[in-house]
Amino acid sequence: MKLLVPIKRVVDYNVRVRVKADGSGVDTSNVKMSMNPFDEIAVEEAIRLKEKGTASEIVAVSIGEAKAQETLRTAMAMGADRSIHVATSAATDTELQPLEVAKLLKAVVERENPDLVLMGKQAIDDDSNQTAQMLAALLGWPQGTFASKIEPSEGGLNVTREVDAGLETVALKLPAIVSVDLRLNEPRYASLPNIMKAKKKPIDQLTPEELGVDTAPRLTYVKVEEPPKREAGIRVDDVPTLVEKLKSEAGVM
């Protein structure tokens, strides 16, 4: 089974982002960037499927500026076999949007013919949670979203999904798209020898033009502002004081 794993370079999970004073967006210059955490889980799952002998090859793909290649190197240091970089100068948090990303990925899928696309359920910058579902729609493939367990079965996959009420399992025909959730696995750290080896693994370069996709955004981020701030309240000394305040002052008890 051949796997394609799309990954996104985003502002690191631990960075407290700042809104630009002119309201044009979030300041992403000089902040630490990392692989989107859910995409790391997708890479890890792909590697585990290869280690089990289910998968034969893992191709990572990322769309973005030149530095997206650093993120692809990380994926290859973890265990991806090779990479594809689709170069664009658009800001990947606001100007390059899920529908256009899905169209680019569809074009990559049509060149690579994977049996399974494994990807994060959500990028932690734009928080859209759309791309996997859109890619599945455009390809006419089944989707297993928010996966916490992936089990190959006869001619397909059983995917256990994290849903609001608990867990749900769907059986998908292959080829398919699976978006992964938090509890699927714990991603490994790349070892130093693997980081060195990853430097020699190939990265193919493509452009949206070569893939024949118009990436002009449909949505305009007209304004980006600081959210309303919540004021800190007071410290209470003990439980009786807390209960008293909740009853008399806050009126919620």
Partner 1 sequence: MAQILVVAEHDNQTLAKATLHAVTAAQALGDVTLLVAGSGAGSVAEAAAAVGGVAKVVHVDDALYENAVAEDLAALVVAMADGYEGFVAGSSSFGKNVMPRIAALLDIAQISDIVEVLDAKRFKRFIYAGNALATVETRDPKVVLTVRTTAFPAAPAEGGSASVETIQALAPTDLAKFVGRDVSESERPDLTSARVVVSGGRGMGSGENFAILEALADQLGAAVGASRAAVDAGFVPNEYQVGQTGKIVAPELYIAVGISGAIQHLAGMKDSKVIVAINKDEEAPIFQVADYGLVGDLFQLVPELTEAVKRP
Give the span between the Cα atoms of 26 and 21, in whole angstroms: 9
Which residues, numbered 10-69, are part of the site for partner 1 (CB under 8 A)?
11, 13, 16-17, 19, 25-26, 38
- Among residues 54, 69, 129, 194, the one that binds partner 1 under rule CB under 8 A: 129
Query: Half-sphere exposure of residue 215, counting CA atoms within 13 Å on the CB side?
Result: 26
Structure tokens at 221: 């981020």
# of chain residues touching partner 1 (CB under 8 A)? 84
Q: Does 110 contact partner 1 by CB under 8 A?
A: no
Token output for 161: 């999904």
Separation of alpha carbons 54 and 156, rounded Å: 12
Nearer to partner 1, 26 or 206 (CB): 26
Site stretch for partner 1 (CB under 8 A), options 80-88, 158-166, 189-197, 207-215: 158-166
Residue 217: CB atoms within 10 Å: 14
- Going from the C-alpha of 76 to that of each of 119, 134, 164, 241, the distances in angstroms are 15, 26, 34, 56
Indicate whether 142 belongs to the interface with partner 1 (CB under 8 A): yes
Residues 174-193 that bind partner 1 (CB under 8 A): 181-183
Does 155 contact partner 1 by CB under 8 A? no
> Is 98 an interacting residue with respect to partner 1 (CB under 8 A)?
yes
**Spatial contact of 111 and 137, defined as CB atoms under 8 Å apart:** no
For partner 1, the binding residue among 33, 87, 91, 99 (CB under 8 A) is 99
* Least distance between partner 1 and beta carbon 150 (Å): 13
* Nearest residue (CB) to partner 1, 74 versus 179: 179
Q: Which residue has the tokens 């955004």?
A: 217
CB of 24 or CB of 194, closer to partner 1:
24
Residue 226 touching partner 1 (CB under 8 A): yes
Does residue 149 belong to the site contacting partner 1 (CB under 8 A)?
Answer: no
Q: Specify the DSSP class assigned to residue 112.
A: H
Q: 5-31 as b/e, with b when 16 or more CB fall inside 10 Å?
A: bbbbbbbeeeeeeeeeeeeebbebeee
Exactly one of 168, 205, 207, 210 binds partner 1 (CB under 8 A); that residue is 168
Please report whether residue 166 would count as binding partner 1 according to CB under 8 A: yes
